Structure 1
Amino acid sequence: MSEETVTEQTHLLKDGAIPYSDENKNSISDNDFTTRSSSNNTVPFRIKVIVLCILLTELCERLTYYSVSANLVLFANTHLGFTNPEAASINFIFTGTGYAIPIISGYIADSFIGQYNTIFGSSLIYIVGSVALVLVAAPYDLPFSTSAQSAFYIGGLAFIAIGTGGIKSNVSPFGADQLKDSGPLLIQRFFSWFYFFINVGSLVSFTAVAYIQQNVSFFYGYMIPAISMALAIIIFISARSYYVVRSPKGSLLIDAVRMMWQGLRVKLCCRDAGARNGRITSIFDYAKQENGGSFESSQVEKIKPLGRVIPVFILIILYWTVYFQMQTTWFIQGESMNLKLGSFKLPAAALSSFDTVSVLVFIPIINYGVYPLYKKIFGRSLTQLQRIGIGMIFASLAMLAAGILEGYRLIDVHENPLPQVVAGSTFNASGNISVLAQIPQFALIGLSEVFTSITGLEYAYSEAPEELKGLIMGLYLLTSGLGSYLGSLIIVIVNAASRNPKVRNSEWIPKDINNGHLDYYCYFLAVFMAANFIIYVLMTTFWYKGEGTESEDNVRIVTSAHEPTAPDLVHTHSKNNYDV
């Protein structure tokens, strides 16, 4: 099936099935989610190939990305001479850029070259950066100074950030679009499996690859992700003949900006312009012709999802700041704890695998247990916004747990110091506190992912009209990037605020955290996250108040309307969907 000839959806369901589209996504009844048909429960071979290739592509890409980020702080410390705050900031900026690029790549895919070409082109950029890191870590002497190697390394990270950003905003909607006519359950199951494979790649990175980097060589530790990225490209293009590759339809981004600007102007100069002609539920409504604007109502309705998702996305930013502590401050905390398990020395980066394992464990528990139990007790499913909010609570608790642990670690490291060599550098660790004590905070952040991160992907995809899928997914991923940038900024602000010129090492996060107060920093983020959650509840409760459509009810945090949630997609079968 060629890219040029595919302009319409290919119907994959048998006769009598209800095709899934934006028009009927809110008209699906409960019976459609609970009735099983024995005559339509086999996944076509084409669908299996598509799903498997996309999931394996994502697994390999995530293995590459996390293999780079897992020990980035350690490599920057031990091989390039960066301090802890500098290395943490590099990690934050690298991560932030990788999540900021998707809004650009989403726009490019929507407007110019399509999702398939954007994914493929980004993959080529990605592998260039991966090879650059292999060269920097090569065991032979390079004819470059340390500063030149640092510049080359950062350049490689930049290529990787651009590559992963280009893939991020397009691969999940590209996969979901392949299943668009297969029904909402199969699409939502795809997102669950998509996230599952992400965490499989993460698990391999934070265990096997991290061990090789820390105990064998960074050269081999960076060669593995480079090979993995090459494999991702091969797997992705191997299924090209099976994909439905749609031509770009153009992005509504420019129209959205014009409507926003016009809506603001009409609202400010003619406050009652729309009150006489109908309800105003969004700033975009002021851009309608009947309300004093110049746009047709149908044009505005396509853009209005932006008005619903942006406030939610803004309040998810701090969640990602907390989440990315795993690869920065929690990593620094972990390498200053006892890494020995008997005669085996655990890689500090392997602690992130506890987050991954918790995600893999909690996904089925929550889908099969918590969600159905909640629906049985309360007679309704948790809405998407409710699930996102629950994840914020667990993120706050994770930082609280990290702060409590750090308080005990600081006491122990001064009473029972343990010289510990990590990747050739010696750290004073707490002799009596094992690094396994970090498991609770990693488990809590993993639990938060199941609620906030997975649901965020579903929310971004389900709210986006066809012409805005790449853009809205890019906006959602941008929250991760902004969260990472915010983390870097918070470290700078916290250290500046806590620095006392008369006291040496007075910063909360100094070069040697044994002389600082990382516990205060963790407590600060825990309180900040809790305050963010309160604002989120107030905003989502009152932002959608008075919006009466069924679509709007589905995203209201206080609604009791039914929406297809995780228990629906893993616990029941639809007569119009395939079993997976």
Structure 2
Amino acid sequence: MSETITAATAANKPRYPKSIPFIIGNEAAERFSFYGMRSILATFLVAQFFNPTMNPALQTVAEAKANESTHFFVTLAYTLPFIGGLVADWFTGKYKIILYISIVYCFGHLFLAIFENNLDMFLVGLLLIAIGAGGIKSCVSANVGDQFDKTNESLMSKVYGWFYFSINSGSVIATVLIPWVYDQYGPSMAFGIPGLLMALATIIFFLGRKKYVRVPPSGINRNNFVFISVYALLNMGKKKKGESLLDVAKGNYDPEKVEGVKAVYRVMSVFAFAPIFWAMWDQNLSEWVLQAEKLDRHINLGFVNFTILPGQVQTANPVFLLTFIPLFTYFVYPFFDKIGLKTTPLRRIGTGLALTALSFVIIAIVQESVDKGGHPSVWWQIFAYVVLSAAEVLVSITGLEYAYTQAPKSMKSTMTAIWLLTVAAGNLSVALINGNISEGGFFAQFTGADFYWMFVIICAAFFVAFLFISPRLKERSYVGVDDNEVIAETNNL
């Protein structure tokens, strides 16, 4: 009898989908390719194209041009997930988008490796990589969830844990290795290795083609965020007294979906404060790397001495991030909740904005020393990374959680895409500022330390505005309920 029970238990034990190793292997290799390429992008653009003679008089403009190109690249990479997700859901399905766009991705890396002396073709390579990285971004993580059903959904959180571990592992290894390869063997090899890893990622994904659960495209769903919003805007004159602007769409669209769109706009009122965070965070992969070139990067730990390369300093971010996620989840948040300071999502985001500004205060002070001809220790920049990584846990991870809990089931994918658009918006603003600096425009007066102090002031203004607005925002949790259920609104405090 006991043997029969044991056999039955084993038969009912949830099993991991056979496709998971292919998905995780693909993600680790793809993230290596992306972060490896990006770890040297800004420094390469300055040294190869914008100031190859290293003329001090040209350095400020050269760095501004390099930062402009880098942030425009990131802007496009984080705008396209919205489009890629729609195409996959409506027309092609996730598998075809991931496979075909990955091939475009590979060609982008190839262009970087072979056109190191041709700026126009190099920028075409960046465009192709942005299309590749952005086109598949919203599909890859969703593809993980598609592999599960009722029999094994209990394993999903573990698999997502390994999925995100693969992302950070790829980032850490790439940001240590690729700057070293660039220093020792030059740009062709340094850009070529990420290209090989992207080719490997594509091959791994293709090898799992018979293992994937493929959710077929649903066709164009007229009850979506874009269609409902546009209809309401074009028919705003029909709004009755006491109705919201979106209520005019209820006659032509599913009323439940219209209520879902309302929820999206409520969340967007919080997301409006996210672009300043991303405008500042993404500078750690460009502006901070260029600053690191001017620092004393010698590390003396007593038992070991070594000098790190500028592009390797950014490895601090994923390392601190992996440390802070469990620290905040299991210790910091429970501690403040226990003493009566409830760590609501909005309070976390507000605190994150304050820490983001503080990280730039540190960077601005370091830059003041650099501007005076000094070579401060890289440990000061690493300290700024500690603060920025804590801010990332508070803003980025909380923002994703907020997007999920505050949006109805039918709008959760839309909210994730809109969250990625805040990354694009932040990078676009920095790209435009750097473009203005390179052309001698208004922002040209904000160079050196003044550039970073400018962002401190802007972030402080956003923080003050957030303090006034956040107490007036309502939270409405949709976790564990259907779209048509009525959920009581609660004040965030």
After TM superposition, the score normalised by the length of structure 1 is 0.72
Amino acid across the alignment from 1:397: L
Matched, 1:210 2:153: no
- 2:54 equivalent in structure 1: none
- 1:409 equivalent in structure 2: 370
1:66-121 deviation line (CA, Å, top 9, x unaligned): 11111111111222235111111111111111111111111111211112221112
SS in 2 for 1:338: coil
- 2:422 equivalent in structure 1: 479
- 2:290 equivalent in structure 1: 332
CA 158–99 in structure 1, closer or farther in 2 if over 3 Å, else same: same
Which residue among 86, 89, 95 is the counterpart of 1:116? 95
CA–CA separation in structure 2 for the residues paired with 1:558 and 1:187:
29
- 1:15 equivalent in structure 2: none
Q: CA deviation at 1:537?
A: 4.5
State which drifts further: 195-204 or 70-79. 195-204
1:119-162 deviation line (CA, Å, top 9, x unaligned): 1122111011111112124xxxxxxxx5xx11111111111110
Q: CA deviation at 1:239?
A: 3.2
Amino acid across the alignment from 2:351: I
Matched, 1:558 2:488: no
Contact 2:71 2:427 in 1 (8 A): yes
1:11-60 deviation line (CA, Å, top 9, x unaligned): xxxxxxxxxxxxxxxxxxxxxxxxxxxx89x974433x444433332221
1:523-551 deviation line (CA, Å, top 9, x unaligned): 22122122223333444432427x69887
Contact 2:50 2:66 in 1 (8 A): no
State which drifts further: 391-400 or 95-104. 391-400
State which drifts further: 69-78 or 310-319. 310-319
CA 249–365 in structure 1, closer or farther in 2 if over 3 Å, else same: same
SS in 1 for 2:49: coil
CA–CA separation in structure 2 for the residues paired with 1:168 and 1:270:
38
Q: CA deviation at 1:258?
A: 4.0
Matched, 1:85 2:64: yes
Q: CA deviation at 1:333?
A: 1.1
**Between the two proteins, what is the percent identity of the paired residues?**
27
CA 73–265 in structure 1, closer or farther in 2 if over 3 Å, else same: closer
CA–CA separation in structure 2 for the residues paired with 1:532 and 1:194:
33
Which residue among 319, 330, 335 is the counterpart of 2:277? 319
CA 548–472 in structure 1, closer or farther in 2 if over 3 Å, else same: closer
Flag the structure with higher helix content.
2
CA–CA separation in structure 2 for the residues paired with 1:384 and 1:185:
25
CA–CA separation in structure 2 for the residues paired with 1:198 and 1:170:
15
Matched, 1:197 2:166: yes
State which drifts further: 360-369 or 75-84. 75-84
SS in 1 for 2:93: helix
Unaligned runs of 5+ in 2: 1-8, 52-61
Amino acid across the alignment from 1:117: K
Q: CA deviation at 1:344?
A: 3.6
Amino acid across the alignment from 2:187: F
Matched, 1:130 2:109: yes
CA–CA separation in structure 2 for the residues paired with 1:362 and 1:348:
23
Which residue among 351, 356, 370 is the counterpart of 2:318? 356
Q: CA deviation at 1:445?
A: 1.4
CA 307–472 in structure 1, closer or farther in 2 if over 3 Å, else same: same
CA–CA separation in structure 2 for the residues paired with 1:359 and 1:306:
28
Unaligned runs of 5+ in 1: 1-38, 138-145, 275-279, 414-429, 500-506, 510-517, 560-580
- 2:351 equivalent in structure 1: 390
- 1:526 equivalent in structure 2: 456
- 1:156 equivalent in structure 2: 125
Q: CA deviation at 1:269?
A: 4.8
CA–CA separation in structure 2 for the residues paired with 1:297 and 1:467:
13
Amino acid across the alignment from 1:453: S
Contact 1:110 1:470 in 2 (8 A): no
Matched, 1:174 2:143: yes
SS in 2 for 1:246: coil
CA–CA separation in structure 2 for the residues paired with 1:230 and 1:259:
40
CA–CA separation in structure 2 for the residues paired with 1:186 and 1:554:
31
CA–CA separation in structure 1 for the residues paired with 2:407 and 2:222:
12
SS in 2 for 1:243: coil
Q: CA deviation at 1:469?
A: 5.0
Amino acid across the alignment from 1:477: L
Contact 2:273 2:466 in 1 (8 A): yes
Q: CA deviation at 1:356?
A: 1.5
Contact 1:206 1:350 in 2 (8 A): yes
State which drifts further: 464-473 or 240-249. 464-473
Which residue among 341, 361, 366 is the counterpart of 2:328? 366
CA–CA separation in structure 2 for the residues paired with 1:130 and 1:556:
49
- 1:508 equivalent in structure 2: 446
Q: CA deviation at 1:464?
A: 5.6
1:349-377 deviation line (CA, Å, top 9, x unaligned): 11101111110111121122123334444
CA–CA separation in structure 1 for the residues paired with 2:347 and 2:149:
25
Q: CA deviation at 1:304?
A: 3.5
Amino acid across the alignment from 1:107: L
- 1:504 equivalent in structure 2: none
Amino acid across the alignment from 2:371: L
Higher relative contact order (CA 8 A, sep 6+): 1
CA 213–101 in structure 1, closer or farther in 2 if over 3 Å, else same: same
